[in-house]
């Protein structure tokens, strides 16, 4: 006999069952997000492995990246050595319940990627070790390692029985507010998206049993995904190989007797993993003293040009460079590309002619250049050298305003307005410490035009060559402020072809060349303060 489905008792029973089912679905289908710290991956200059860990966690958890952790460590007064108690102290200040402590190392000819999963107390709860053919992972390898990391982290979090351990709703993840004024706030990757639910097909197995020796398999470091249109059979074989290669182990660590594996991390950079030589932004301002001397090569005769003896004059100086990727990821391969600019301008300069010494002639003298450069830093230590190479376009000008001269009075000095390309190379090497460094650089000056000096009524066409050498001393006042001293020497040489009025007709005889060449020398000394990030 069928029950009376329309009775109030049955309706209430159905509603109760539906409510319970809904609660079960909500409880099982919406996992709470935890705040997890990802420390800097020791041994990884590219930051690729840290990026992989952050990306794999942020879909389900709130992630505190290494630089935000370092800033919090400075606020808490934690020293350079990070032991379990120090990590726990900083983790508590960030409301973090787990810390990933990763390292990339080469042992016995093989690369190993190791991750210690630390709890809220800073002690190691689980360890993972993945063997690699090379210090990198392709897209498929990263995906499978990421899944394994999530599984191990979930195990650790599920065994955390602290009732006061903070949990953060996935729907409204909390953000960390950086109260430190001297650093820009670093965004925290926030939990979003759907929960993972059941592991997807192809997820690597993770064994965490104490009573079995860990079985390690080699994770092949794959390159980019196969090109579009690759054969489906090859893709299937690659997936299968990845699945086998990334079978690995996460072994549980005992808190009390794991002294060797839980040694303090080595010294961190006090700047939050940022080195002076890897600065993402540099802006400098100061003053340059420039001396210009123009001399001519000619035979000895009364009408020979006197040139320009020059005297030191001060200029306003600004310069800067930006490496966009290095702002957020100083060790990423993309951080090698940057852009730079320099500008010097004499604020007040006058020139006089011997024919009218009482008339000051306003003179414009300036120099600027913009370009792109590649910068490469050797090794992992902050006090190792770095090199750079670039290519720019610039202008150097010395132009006299002759409008105030009376009729018939002239100035025997040609204007120059150089437009040129500048290939540049340099070597920067710290002197014992990263806070003091010497840079030696040079650039070729590939002249496009030189201005009025090449007009027919002046010295005419010429073969022009130029080069510049510079030396820079950087002394760090703080981690973000440098005293920068620069000295430069620029020489531009002319070999006149003899078709200008001033090269052939200075003595009244156009049949002989009177002036064969010229040398234009600019000497500069700069003192500036530079702010870096």
Burial 57-77 (b: 16+ CB within 10 A, else e): bbbbbbbbbbbbbbbbbbeee
- Sketch the domain layout of the chain as residue ranges: 31-252, 314-491+522-532
For residue 197, what are the CA distances in angstroms to 146, 160, 192, 202, 339? 15, 20, 14, 14, 46
Other CB atoms within 10 Å distance of the CB of residue 354: 9
Report the share of the chain in percent with pLDDT over 90.
Answer: 44
Contact indicator for 514, 504 with CB cutoff of 8 Å: yes
pLDDT of residue 48: 80
CA atoms within 13 A on the CB side of 15: 7
Statement: residue 236 has pLDDT above 50 = no
**Confidence grade of residue 290 (pLDDT, cut at 50, 70, 90):** very high
Tell me which residue of 157, 186, 198, 148 sits closest to 34, measured CA to CA: 157
Which range has the worst mean pLDDT, 1-10, 52-61, 437-446?
A: 1-10
pLDDT of residue 47: 75
Q: Cα(56)–Cα(143) distance, rounded to whole angstroms?
A: 8
Supply the Cα-derived Rg of the chain in whole angstroms.
Answer: 34
Q: pLDDT tens-digit profile of 319-339? A: 999 999 999 888 889 999 999
CA atoms within 13 A on the CB side of 166: 16
Which range has the worst mean pLDDT, 22-31, 81-90, 298-307?
A: 22-31
The average pLDDT across 425-434 equals 93
Statement: residue 164 has pLDDT above 60 = no
Q: Cα(485)–Cα(489) distance, rounded to whole angstroms?
A: 14
**pTM here?**
0.60
Burial 104-139 (b: 16+ CB within 10 A, else e): beeeeeebbbbbbbbbbebbbbbbbbbbbeebbbbe
Q: Which residue has the tokens 């005889």?
A: 509
Q: For 59-138, where are the alpha helices, taking DSSP H only?
A: 66-75, 84-93
For residue 144, what are the CA distances in angstroms to 68, 127, 200, 236, 247? 27, 17, 10, 15, 9
Helix (H, G, I), strand (E, B) or coil at 359: strand
Phi, psi of 137 (to 5 degrees): -135, 140
The average pLDDT across 362-380 equals 95
The average pLDDT across 453-476 equals 96
Contact indicator for 202, 71 with CB cutoff of 8 Å: no
The average pLDDT across 304-312 equals 92
Q: pLDDT tens-digit profile of 479-527? A: 899 999 999 999 999 999 989 999 988 877 888 889 999 999 999 999 9
pLDDT of residue 158: 83
Burial of 362 (0-12, 13-18, 19+ CB in 10 A): middle
Statement: residue 171 has pLDDT above 80 = no
Beta-strand ranges (E) seen in 303-451 are 313-322, 337-346, 350-353, 356-377, 386-400, 416-431, 433-444, 446-449
Q: Cα(417)–Cα(367) distance, rounded to whole angstroms?
A: 10
Statement: residue 390 has pLDDT above 80 = yes
CA 64 centroid distance within chain: 20
Q: pLDDT tens-digit profile of 57-116? A: 988 899 998 888 888 888 888 876 788 888 999 999 999 999 999 988 888 778 888 899
Q: Cα(364)–Cα(76) distance, rounded to whole angstroms?
A: 54
Q: Cα(479)–Cα(467) distance, rounded to whole angstroms?
A: 34
pLDDT of residue 226: 39
Contact indicator for 527, 286 with CB cutoff of 8 Å: yes
């Amino acid at each position: 006999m069928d029950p009376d489905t329309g009775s109030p008792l049955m309706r209430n029973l159905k509603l109760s069952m539906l409510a319970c089912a809904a609660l079960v679905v909500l409880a099982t289908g919406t996992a709470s997000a935890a705040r997890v710290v990802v420390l800097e991956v020791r041994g990884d200059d590219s930051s690729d492995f840290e990026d992989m860990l952050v990306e794999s966690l942020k879909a389900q958890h709130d992630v505190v990246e290494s630089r935000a952790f370092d800033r919090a460590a400075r606020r808490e007064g934690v020293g350079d050595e990070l032991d379990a108690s120090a990590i726990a102290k900083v983790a508590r200040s960030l409301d973090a319940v787990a810390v990933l402590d990763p390292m990339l190392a080469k042992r016995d000819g093989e690369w190993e990627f190791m991750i210690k999963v630390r709890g809220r107390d800073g002690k190691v709860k689980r360890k993972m070790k993945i063997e690699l053919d090379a210090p990198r992972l392709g897209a498929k390898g990263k995906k499978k390692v990421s899944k394994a990391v999530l599984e191990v982290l979930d195990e650790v979090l599920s065994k955390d029985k602290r009732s006061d351990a903070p949990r953060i709703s996935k729907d409204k993840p909390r953000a960390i507010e950086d109260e430190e004024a001297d650093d820009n706030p670093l965004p925290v990757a926030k939990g979003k998206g759907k929960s993972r639910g059941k592991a997807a097909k192809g997820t690597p197995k993770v064994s965490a049993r104490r009573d079995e020796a860990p079985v390690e398999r080699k994770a092949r470091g794959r390159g980019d995904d196969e090109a579009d249109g690759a054969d489906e059979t090859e893709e299937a074989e690659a997936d299968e190989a990845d699945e086998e290669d990334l079978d690995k182990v996460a072994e549980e660590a005992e808190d009390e007797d794991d002294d060797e594996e839980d040694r303090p991390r080595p010294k961190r950079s006090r700047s939050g993993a940022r080195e002076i030589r890897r600065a993402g932004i540099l802006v400098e301002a100061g003053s340059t003293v420039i001396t210009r001397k123009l001399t001519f090569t000619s035979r000895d005769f009364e009408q020979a040009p006197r040139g320009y003896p020059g005297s030191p004059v001060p200029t306003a100086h600004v310069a800067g460079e930006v490496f966009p990727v290095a702002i957020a990821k100083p060790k990423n391969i993309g951080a090698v590309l940057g852009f730079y600019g320099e500008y010097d301008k004499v604020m007040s300069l006058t020139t006089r002619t011997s024919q009218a010494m009482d008339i000051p002639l306003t003179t414009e003298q300036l120099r600027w250049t913009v370009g792109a450069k590649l910068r490469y830093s050797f090794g992992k230590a902050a006090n190792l050298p770095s090199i750079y190479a670039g290519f720019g376009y610039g202008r150097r000008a010395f132009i006299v305003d002759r409008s105030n001269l009376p009729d018939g009075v002239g100035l025997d000095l040609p204007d120059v307005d150089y437009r040129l390309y500048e290939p540049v190379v340099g070597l920067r090497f710290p002197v014992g410490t990263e806070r003091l460094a010497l840079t030696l650089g040079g650039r070729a000056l590939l002249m496009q035009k030189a201005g009025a000096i090449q007009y027919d009524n002046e010295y005419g066409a010429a073969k022009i060559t130029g080069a510049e050498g510079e030396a820079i001393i950087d002394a760090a006042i703080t981690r973000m402020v440098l005293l920068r001293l620069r000295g430069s020497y620029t020489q531009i040489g002319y070999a006149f072809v003899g078709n200008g009025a001033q090269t052939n007709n200075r003595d009244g005889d156009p049949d002989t060349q009177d002036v064969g060449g010229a040398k234009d020398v600019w000497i500069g000394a700069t003192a500036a303060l530079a702010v870096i990030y």
